[in-house]
Structure 1
Amino acid sequence: MIDDIDREIAGLLAEDARRSLTEVAGQVGLSTSAVNERVRRLVAQGVIRRFTLDVAPEALGLPVLALIWADVPHAREEAFRAFATSHPGITECHHVTGAWSYLIHLRAANLDGVEAFLGQMKGDGLIARSETMLALSTLRTAPLVPR
């Protein structure tokens, strides 16, 4: 479990991981070395999983976001998981409850890219059936900020 100061440190870094530890220390009322030790501990405990960069998908030529509900045959589950965790266009993949096995967030350059992805998945027997929705616009994407 993390305390309120750990939450505040993690929240500040989630909003901007480029903040210096000195700046974070000033905002939480601790020394830089104390904040450094807390950050090391949060990383070691798996509370902070990674420091990352958020790049605009459009800048990478991937403006299309397809939300794909996929039914994965039980016998192909392991192969599907291996594929999903290594495919560069899959930004999220969730094992879900209900009528579908997984929800995939796929970034693609265009609709042909989405169609090719689905064709490959179905052709390889990784999904039995699917339903695809396209995001028309995105109102919000945000990191999880501890409160």
Structure 2
Amino acid sequence: MDDLDRELLGLLRDDARLPVATLAKKLRVARATVQNRLAKMESDGTVQGYTVRLKAATDGHRVRAMMTIAVEGSRATDIMVKLRGHPSVYSLHSTNGRWDIVAELRADTLEAFDRVLNTIRQIEGIATTETSILLSTFKA
């Protein structure tokens, strides 16, 4: 991956619906170059799909947070299985270091969020958690 590929991905992060002609113009390259690079990134798995991002108020989940989780012993896999089925768990990540799992949580209200926290903290095998509510999101 070179600088042109990274710039192309940056433009797609802003708007994945930009036409190839517009991408080529912004990158100052031929349309075929953009098409070939997109095809290559799609075939090698760099680009795995295109999606829609909703405004925070649109998706109904007004409270978002990151929860870091330390598990007892080697129970991380069991905990991940239990968390995968929870409707308020948006994403899960295994990590190294002090925390074993990072979970992104979403809820409609603070009261619902409180219930989610209590439910997750009671899962057998979770030693400790730390949660931070996400206040603002900035594009990377």
Q: Deviations over 1:17-44 (max 9, x none)?
A: 1100111112223332331121010122
**Larger helix proportion of the pair:** 1
How many percent of aligned residue pairs carry the same amino acid?
25
Q: What is the TM-score with the length of structure 1 in the denominator?
A: 0.75
Preserved contact between residue 66 and residue 114 of structure 1 (Cα < 8 Å)? no
Preserved contact between residue 80 and residue 92 of structure 2 (Cα < 8 Å)? no
Q: Confirm or deny that 1:46 pairs with 2:45.
A: yes
Alignment partners' CA distance in 2, 1:81 and 1:121: 11
Tell me the amino acid that sits aligned with residue 64 of structure 2. Answer: L
Structure 1 unmatched runs, 5+: none
Structure 2 unmatched runs, 5+: none
Q: What is the TM-score with the length of structure 2 in the denominator?
A: 0.79
Tell me the amino acid that sits aligned with residue 132 of structure 2. Answer: M
Root mean square deviation, CA, Å: 2.5
Alignment partners' CA distance in 2, 1:55 and 1:72: 33
Alpha-carbon shift at residue 87 of structure 1 (Å) = 4.2
1:56–1:69 CA distance, 2 compared to 1 (3 A)? same
Alpha-carbon shift at residue 120 of structure 1 (Å) = 2.9
Alignment partners' CA distance in 2, 1:98 and 1:6: 32
SS for the counterpart of 1:58 is: coil
Alignment partners' CA distance in 1, 2:104 and 2:4: 34
1:73–1:15 CA distance, 2 compared to 1 (3 A)? same
Query: Number of aligned pairs?
Result: 140
1:56–1:73 CA distance, 2 compared to 1 (3 A)? farther
Aligned to 1:103: 102
Preserved contact between residue 76 and residue 101 of structure 2 (Cα < 8 Å)? no
Alignment partners' CA distance in 2, 1:61 and 1:12: 27
1:40–1:86 CA distance, 2 compared to 1 (3 A)? farther
